[in-house]
Chain A
């Protein structure tokens, strides 16, 4: 007997398949370009590379201007991820377990920062981080990205924590656990998947953001995305190189998704399904 589930149309698989094909086409085109020489790209339309070459990738992986871009991007993304998750953990616990003066207003105020258009903050951020001498360091970008990542981390973690019954906390206190010990030894393992998903989201939003990252750096901590823009304008229009650099910016994201694939749906629902 058919397992009772949602009714499926006979051609149900067609919709997701077509959708995925639509998603993959521009990515295929980028891959296609990255294995061509710039001359071949500009020479005309071609569905696949005729003179297959990995020269663009070799150039990126051996030229410090290029690979330093990747290193600085990954550095500030990791710093931001660690800061965001660390400070969001106790805060999310407070929001999920306690009522306190002004809690609802505080929660909404945090969310409003997720709503602030980065374009609004670009110029003041430049002045603020220049004033405290952090301009052009990974720390500036990492701290600036806290603006939208911390509220998001609190939001997701709070959802996961609310799913853990409160009796667990109370039993641990009766057993003589102090709060920090309980939190690290018992509570954090319980929401490990939630922490993983939160870290994934912090990674994602810090990795894809460019406006602030570009505003807050000039030479030393330039993110890869900004290196790409600069190359596009100075050394002519090296399409093959740009395409290869674009492909390489997708790789870290793809690896991270693979690790959280089983939790991703729940994570996108902010833990509250």
Chain B
């Protein structure tokens, strides 16, 4: 659509701008402020420059949390995107079952995040939970509160449960926009199943899949509540992701400077990756 140039459109955007700026700019400036100062209590602050940033970037603890975070996000994306596409491809295209599937699949997305954690906690407990009891009945020793590997397995399975449906719904929306004529043409050319996927379905899903990857990256990178309720970051520090570490530093240990510098570094990383995705996405649109 061709858009007209009209600077008065700013007035329509103004309320949004003010509300979001109030919520974003003031807290962000507070964080920046903390990140360059030292406090000894009593509201006394001293300017420290980039000391906190140097300290955070050099700390082993930050490196470990960052590594865990990247590993978690990578595993999540590698499982959820292909699984979501596979489920969407095999869903019925029309009929009464579509609504039933969609409603049931969307359900995990509307469960409050701490309830997700609590639900998986009782689901995975080795003595009274279905999952934990089941795995132990198979003869595998499983206890997510004591074994780091079991804790990772449970946290990842929980995230797959919670968020794969988002990918399914997005991919399904992309698939249902493909006209039947495309499939007719493929049938006439007697194209293979793989060719239909590769040259018809995948290109049509490109846009929605970009959105899916972008959303899943952002949300898994800032995951906090679900793993915190499930494992509390443990056992030890095994599942302490960036957000959990950040809240520990800020509210648990009250290291405001460190926590603030961590926040800024963390935010900039999310921003950088998301900007790359966004640029790719809008470039695809212009073509």
> Which residues of A approach B to under 8 Å, CB–CB?
3-9, 12-16, 19-20, 22-27, 29-30, 33, 41-42, 44-45, 47, 83, 87-88, 90-91, 93-101, 103, 106, 108, 110-125, 127-128, 143-144, 146-147, 150-151, 154, 162, 165-166, 204, 207-211, 224-225, 228-229, 232, 239, 242-243, 246, 249-250, 252-254, 256-258, 261-262, 264-266, 268-270, 272-273
- Cα A12 to Cα B95 in complex, Å, equals 15
Most central of B119, B168, B222 by chain A CB within 10 Å: B119
- Please determine whether B107 and A144 come into contact, CB atoms closer than 8 angstroms: no
Q: List 30 A-B contacts (CB under 8 A).
A: A5-B180, A5-B183, A6-B93, A8-B90, A20-B101, A24-B104, A27-B119, A30-B123, A42-B128, A98-B3, A98-B6, A100-B10, A100-B13, A103-B9, A106-B13, A113-B23, A117-B246, A118-B222, A120-B266, A121-B28, A143-B19, A166-B1, A204-B110, A225-B113, A243-B122, A253-B107, A253-B111, A265-B169, A265-B173, A269-B208
- Please determine whether A16 and B196 come into contact, CB atoms closer than 8 angstroms: no
Number of A-B contacts (CB under 8 A): 293
Asked if B129 lies at the interface with its beta carbon under 8 angstroms from chain A, I say yes
Asked if B151 lies at the interface with its beta carbon under 8 angstroms from chain A, I say no
Cβ of B26: which chain A residues have Cβ within 8 Å of it? 124, 128
Most central of B3, B10, B267 by chain A CB within 10 Å: B3
- Please determine whether A208 and B30 come into contact, CB atoms closer than 8 angstroms: no
B242-261 vs A, CB cutoff 8 Å, 1 = contact: the mask equals 11001100110000100100
- Cα A210 to Cα B170 in complex, Å, equals 25
From residue 212 to 252 of chain B, which have CB atoms closer than 8 A to chain A? 218, 221-222, 224-225, 242-243, 246-247, 250-251
A contact patch SS:
helix
- Please determine whether A144 and B23 come into contact, CB atoms closer than 8 angstroms: yes
Cβ of B82: which chain A residues have Cβ within 8 Å of it? none
Q: Which of B10, B193, B211, B242 contacts A7 (CB 8 A)?
A: B193
Chain A residue at smallest Cβ distance from B133 = A45
Q: Which of B23, B120, B161 contacts A147 (CB 8 A)?
A: B23
From residue 1 to 57 of chain B, which have CB atoms closer than 8 A to chain A? 1-10, 12-13, 15-17, 19-20, 22-24, 26-28, 30-31
Cβ of B87: which chain A residues have Cβ within 8 Å of it? 15-16, 19
- Please determine whether A23 and B23 come into contact, CB atoms closer than 8 angstroms: no
- Please determine whether A25 and B123 come into contact, CB atoms closer than 8 angstroms: yes
- Cα A252 to Cα B207 in complex, Å, equals 31
Of the candidate stretches B70-78, B139-147, B269-277, the one touching chain A is B269-277
- Cα A242 to Cα B120 in complex, Å, equals 13
Asked if B177 lies at the interface with its beta carbon under 8 angstroms from chain A, I say yes
Chain A residue at smallest Cβ distance from B89 = A6
- Please determine whether B13 and A229 come into contact, CB atoms closer than 8 angstroms: no
Q: Which of A13, A19, A93, A211 contacts B12 (CB 8 A)?
A: A93
Nearest Cβ distance between residue B180 and chain A, in whole angstroms?
Answer: 5
Interface residues of B, count at CB 8 A: 105
- Please determine whether B102 and A261 come into contact, CB atoms closer than 8 angstroms: yes
Cβ of B1: which chain A residues have Cβ within 8 Å of it? 96, 162, 165-166
- Please determine whether A12 and B187 come into contact, CB atoms closer than 8 angstroms: no
Contacts A100-B5, A117-B267, A143-B19: A125 and B27 contacting too (C-beta < 8 A)? yes
Cβ of B22: which chain A residues have Cβ within 8 Å of it? 143
Asked if B130 lies at the interface with its beta carbon under 8 angstroms from chain A, I say yes
Asked if B184 lies at the interface with its beta carbon under 8 angstroms from chain A, I say yes
Cβ of B222: which chain A residues have Cβ within 8 Å of it? 115, 117-119
Q: Which of B30, B161, B180 contacts A3 (CB 8 A)?
A: B180
- Cα A151 to Cα B13 in complex, Å, equals 11
Cβ of B201: which chain A residues have Cβ within 8 Å of it? 6
- Cα A90 to Cα B243 in complex, Å, equals 34
- Please determine whether B24 and A246 come into contact, CB atoms closer than 8 angstroms: no
Asked if B81 lies at the interface with its beta carbon under 8 angstroms from chain A, I say no
- Please determine whether B20 and A98 come into contact, CB atoms closer than 8 angstroms: no
Most central of B106, B108, B207 by chain A CB within 10 Å: B106
- Cα A143 to Cα B30 in complex, Å, equals 18
Nearest Cβ distance between residue B52 and chain A, in whole angstroms?
Answer: 14
Cβ of A108: which chain B residues have Cβ within 8 Å of it? 275, 278
- Please determine whether A113 and B24 come into contact, CB atoms closer than 8 angstroms: yes
Nearest Cβ distance between residue B8 and chain A, in whole angstroms?
Answer: 8
Nearest Cβ distance between residue B135 and chain A, in whole angstroms?
Answer: 12
- Cα A120 to Cα B35 in complex, Å, equals 12
- Cα A30 to Cα B180 in complex, Å, equals 42
Contacts A6-B89, A112-B271, A114-B218: A22 and B7 contacting too (C-beta < 8 A)? no
